[in-house]
Each structure stands twice: as structure tokens, then as C-alpha cells.
Amino acid sequence: MKREINFLILVILIAVSSTAAVNGDITRDNQSDLKGDIVLTVVTRHDVTITNEFKEKFLATEEAQNLGISDIDFKSVSTDDGWRSLLKDASKGVDVAWGGGPALFSTMANYKALKPIDDPDLLNYLNETVPDRIAGAAMKWWDEDNNLLFVASAISSFGFTVNHQFLSDKGLPVPHTWEELASPEFYVSPDVRAISMGDPPETTSNTRIYQIILQAFGWEKGWAIITKMGANAGIYPGSVDTRAAVINGEVGVAMTIDFYGVIAMRENPNCEYIIPEGQSIVNGDPIALGANVDDYEAAKAFIKFVESPEGQAVWFTEGLDRLPVLESAFHTDAGQTENGQALYALYNETLDNEGIVFDEELAVSNLDTTIYYFHETITANHDLLREAWGSMVLRLKDGNITQEKFEELSAQLTEVGMTLNESIEWNDEFQTDPNFASAKRSEWKNFAKQKYNAIIDEIGRIPGEDNTTETPTKTPVSTLFSIIGFATLVIVLRRKRR
């Protein structure tokens, strides 16, 4: 009997312990919920300066705290494939896509990687808050079924930043148009590059600049301007490096989106951001829901914050320096600061500058072929391009070729290896078939190499001093003596072995 009582007591103790453990788990779970354990996931091309500032400001809001949002996981991805992979993978639970330009978002929409904004509350808020257009540019984008897909969260213009000290030192004029940057005047010397340009696969903002030029001047003339600009330039791996080159005086002109120009002016008073006269556009930088949004209410709250006057005013933080999509942001406390008012002046200048009519559908339809045609014909063959162009410019300046001959060679230099229609027709296959893309890239690279070499050969037959290549580390004579010396050493060593 005593043994049975002891067994019963043991069973009761186990039951009580189990119940306590379960209740403890439930209590801990509830406490976790109360503390807030929702982590919002955002794929972005914004840099950490921007994401940190917005995270701090958003998490401090009453709405974020009420929803239990404890953190934001910003996934910084630079490639289209990376975005598509994250947004299409339901296991990743990406809630929001933010920053990178309308071409990127249109591409994601084509991949069905974005969720249409159909919630009445969010839809009505965005329709009432965000303007449909600013300076003629769309700030909202719909799909074929008239569903709202994404809206602009900031606006930008595109131009170039000049370093006045560099221009003065080199005797160069202050440019105000793209054509000036393509002129022989901006070829300084084989060792000096007057311009910095970003390689399109590495920078969406510089890619948009090249698209603006192509649409402003037409396919053939646009590529002629871009190619000659490239011949006057150094090619840099991204927009940050492109901007840094003008700040530190390495070049006199850099391709920049407006807020990079503002940053450059702050870091170096010799710098000035210039919007090319009638040759730019206003661009809306979007925000959207991910197709596999994991926490809809949290995502909605973040989008609402970004599109509120207070959220828009975060752009006025020094180091961010973006233009808001809502003019009401300038009437907040942050908008009344010195930096806010400086950006308000740029905002009004941007809206007053009559730019081109930009076809966003066209920009998306040949985006990849445009990016990699530039890369293969300008970046991959950059030394040859500079040598060919430099030879032409120096012969022209020395009077060894006529202006007519120079124009003839320029036409040869800037001949385009694909038509506009081909760039559109090939784009989808270029995106989806690696073998096709590789073949085209190789074709474009060889095409450019052949035409540049042909010009170099022809110029070489024209009398005149050739100063178009960088000074070699050894002259041909010194190289010859080195070879003779090496051969003599080998003979001596062999004789010693015998």
C-alpha cells in the first residue's frame, strides 16, 4: 500500500511539473509577443546610411510599437536576379521592395515578383497622398488590370557634378550639355581622364543617364555621344566610385544622380551639381509590396510611414539628401532646417527644368541589351577606345588631319553594332538564355575591338607625333637590351654547367 501511495505522489508531481512547464512556455511566448518580435524584411538598393536612418525613425513610431515590430532586416542586393530570387521565394518572406528605380521595379513586375496594392486602406491612402505625376513623370504604376503595383517614395534628377578646380587647372569650360562632354575638347591627354562614368552593370543611376541620352538624341546619335564621352572618361565600377573621382579631383566631371551631387558639394566646395539644360528627367524611386509578403500589416505600416510627411522628411538628413515625393515634407520641422531648405531649392530647380519626354516602357524593353552593349564596347575595350579617339584628337589638334577626315573617323568610331529594334527583340532572350547572352556579348566586344584597331592602324599611317598611349615602363630600346642581357646570362650559365 505504501508503495502505491508513493507511486501516486510521483505521478502527481510529474503532472504538476509538466503543467508548470507548459504554462511557463505559454507565458514566455505571450511575453515575447508583448515585447514585439516581428521582423520586417525589405529588399533594397538603398545604402546602409539610408536604411539605418529610416529604421531608427520607423521603429520609434507608435504604429510600429503597437504592431510589435522589433527590427527591419534590410537585404541589400545589387542584381536583378538577386531581387527576383528573393521576392519569388516564399520561404524568404520578403515584405517590401524599396529603392532601385522604376526600370528595376517594372522588371520585377514582369516576373510577378510584386504584390498588387489592393487593400482599400493602403490603396486609398496612397491615392490621396502620392501625386500621380511630378514634372510630367509618373509617380504611380499600374499593371494591365489597372492594379496599383508600386509608387514613388522619392524623386531624382540626373546630370553631372563638376569640379571647378580641375576644370580651371586643365583649361576646360564648365559644361551644361551632354554633347559638350563628347567633344574633343574634353580629351585632355592619354594619362588624364576628364570624366568619370559608371559601368552600367554596377550602377542603376548611371544606366538611367545613358538611357536618357539615347532617348534624348535617338539611338544612333545617342550611342555616338555616349561612346565619345566614354573615350574622354575613366570607367568606374559603381556610382559611389564615380562620384568620389570628382570629389577628390581625379576628374573634372562625374555622372551623378542629384543627391550624389549634393553630397559632393558638401564634401568639396569646388564641386557643383548641374542638370543638363532640357536634357534630363525627373525619376520616381519606388516602394512596393513583395509578392510573398510575410507580415502584411507591418509592411503596410512601413509603406505608410515612408509616404507620410514625417517619413519623407527623413530624406533631409545630411548624408541622405534626397528629394521627397511629397512637397508637404518641406513644411515639417526637418524641412525648415538649413539642409531642408537647400533641398527645397533643388526641388524647385528640378521641377522648373524642362526635360525630355521619357518612355519608361522603352527603357525596360531593352534594358539588359543596353547595359551589356555599353559594357562590351566601352568598358571591356576601354584602352583601345581611348587610344583610337586620342589618336584622332591629337592629329586634329596638330593639323595632321582635316575636320572632314576627323568626322569620317568619328562616324567609324561610333558605329553601332545593333539596331534599336534588335536591342528590343533580343532583350528577353538575353535575360533568359545564358548562351545567347554570352554569344552576343562576345560579338559586341569583337565588333568594337575591330573598329577601334582599324582606326589606330589608319591613324598610324598618317604622319604626326603619336602621344596617345600611356608612357610605358620600359622603352623598346631598353626592352631590347634587357632581352640581350638575359640571353647572355643564360649562355654564361650554360657554359659554367659544362
pLDDT, tens digit, for every residue of 210-268? 999 999 999 999 999 999 999 999 999 999 999 999 999 999 999 999 999 999 999 99
Question: Which one-letter DSSP state was computed for residue 323?
Answer: E
- pLDDT of 353: 82
The span from the CA of 449 to the CA of 378, in Å, is 10
pLDDT, tens digit (0-9, with 9 covering 90-100), for 329-363: 999 999 999 999 999 999 999 998 878 989 989 99
pLDDT band at 305 (very low <50, low <70, confident <90, very high): very high
The span from the CA of 213 to the CA of 370, in Å, is 12
The span from the CA of 273 to the CA of 275, in Å, is 7
| Residue 468 cell numbers, joined | 596617345
- pLDDT of 486: 39
Question: Which one-letter DSSP state was computed for residue 400?
Answer: S
* Phi and psi angles of residue 132, each rounded to the nearest 5 degrees, phi first: -65, -40
* Phi and psi angles of residue 177, each rounded to the nearest 5 degrees, phi first: -140, 160
pLDDT, tens digit (0-9, with 9 covering 90-100), for 440-493: 999 999 999 999 999 999 999 987 655 555 543 333 333 333 334 434 433 433
pLDDT, tens digit (0-9, with 9 covering 90-100), for 142-177: 999 999 999 999 999 999 999 999 999 999 999 999
Question: Which one-letter DSSP state was computed for residue 294?
Answer: S
Amino acid identity for residue 127 in this structure: N
Q: Has residue 24 got a pLDDT over 90?
A: no
Residue identified by cell 543638363 is 276
Quick one: which H or E segment has residue 237? Answer: none
56 contacts: CB under 8 Å, gap ≥ 6: none
Contact 117, 129 (CB under 8 A): no
Question: Which one-letter DSSP state was computed for residue 53?
Answer: H
3-state secondary structure of 76: strand
Question: How would you classify the pairing of strands 114-115 and 282-290?
Answer: antiparallel
What's the longest Cα–Cα distance across the chain? 122
Of 17-26, 353-362, 419-428, the range with the lowest mean pLDDT is: 17-26
- pLDDT of 429: 98
Question: How would you classify the pairing of strands 253-257 and 195-198?
Answer: parallel
470 contacts: CB under 8 Å, gap ≥ 6: 190, 191
Amino acid identity for residue 128 in this structure: E
Provide the total of helices (H) and of strands (E) in the chain, helices listed first.
Answer: 22, 14
pTM, rounded to two decimals:
0.80
The span from the CA of 131 to the CA of 324, in Å, is 11
Contact 323, 192 (CB under 8 A): no
- pLDDT of 15: 43
* Terminal alpha carbon distance of the chain: 108
The span from the CA of 291 to the CA of 59, in Å, is 23
Question: How would you classify the pairing of strands 69-76 and 137-138?
Answer: unpaired
pLDDT band at 36 (very low <50, low <70, confident <90, very high): low
The span from the CA of 451 to the CA of 78, in Å, is 33
Of 30-34, 312-316, 378-382, the range with the lowest mean pLDDT is: 30-34
Q: Which long-range contacts (CB under 8 A, 24 or more apart) does 426-432 make?
A: 426/369, 427/365, 427/366, 427/367, 427/368, 427/369, 430/368, 430/369, 430/372, 431/368
Q: Has residue 34 got a pLDDT over 70?
A: no
CA 296 to chain CA centroid, nearest Å: 28
| Domain map (residue ranges) of the chain | 38-154+283-350, 366-498
- What is the assigned CATH class of domain 38-154+283-350? alpha beta
pLDDT, tens digit (0-9, with 9 covering 90-100), for 49-64: 999 999 999 999 999 9
Q: For 128-139, what is the mean pLDDT?
A: 94
Nearest alpha-carbon partner for 35 in 67, 84, 68: 68
3-state secondary structure of 168: helix
What mean pLDDT is reported for the chain? 89
